[in-house]
Amino acid sequence: MAVLVGKKAPKFSAPAVVNGGEIVNDFTLEQFVGKQYVVFYFYPADFTFVCPTELLAFQNKMKEFEARNVAVVGCSVDSEFAHWKWLTTEQKDGGIKGVKYPLVADQSKTISRNYDVLAGDFYYDEDGGMMFEGVPQSYRGLFLIDKEGVVRHQVVNDMPLGRSVDECLRMVDALQFFEENGEVCPADWHRGDKAMKPTQEGIVSYMSN
Q: Over the chain, what HEC string results?
A: CCCCCCCECCCCCEEEEECCCEEEEEECHHHHCCCCEEEEEECCCCCCCHHHHHHHHHHHCHHHHHHCCEEEEEEECCCHHHHHHHHCCCHHHCCCCCCCCCEEECCCCHHHHHCCCEEEEEEECCCCCEEEEEEEEECEEEEEECCCCEEEEEEEECCCCCCCHHHHHHHHHHHHHHHHHCCECCCCCCCCCCEEEECCCCCEEEECC
68: confidence class by pLDDT, cuts 50, 70, 90: very high
Q: Is 35 exposed, middle or buried (0-12, 13-18, 19+ CB in 10 A)?
A: exposed
**Tens digits of residue pLDDT in 30-58:** 999 999 999 999 999 999 999 999 999 99
Residue 185 annotated to the active site: no
Q: What is the mean pLDDT of the chain?
A: 94
| Among 23, 44, 48, CA closest to 109 | 44
Q: Determine the average pLDDT of the residues in 107-114.
A: 96
CATH architecture for segment(s) 14-163: 3-Layer(aba) Sandwich (3.40)
Distance CA 168, CA 58 (A): 10
Q: How many CB atoms lie within 10 A of CB 103?
A: 26
Is the separation of the CB atoms in 65 and 38 below 8 Å?
A: no
pLDDT of 105 > 90? The answer is yes
Which of 51, 75, 168, 185 is labelled catalytic? 51
- Residue 148's nearest CA partner among 59, 67, 61, 29 is 29
Kindly report, as residue ranges, where domains of CATH 3.40.30.10 are found in the chain. 14-163
- Of residues 74 and 128, which shows the higher confidence score? 74
d(CA 117, CA 140): 7
**How do residues 173-207 score in pLDDT, each as one tens digit?**
999 999 999 999 999 999 999 999 876 555 455 55
**Max Cα-Cα span within the chain:** 66
Q: What percent of the chain has pLDDT over 90?
A: 86
Distances (CA, A) of 188 to 122, 143, 154: 39, 19, 17
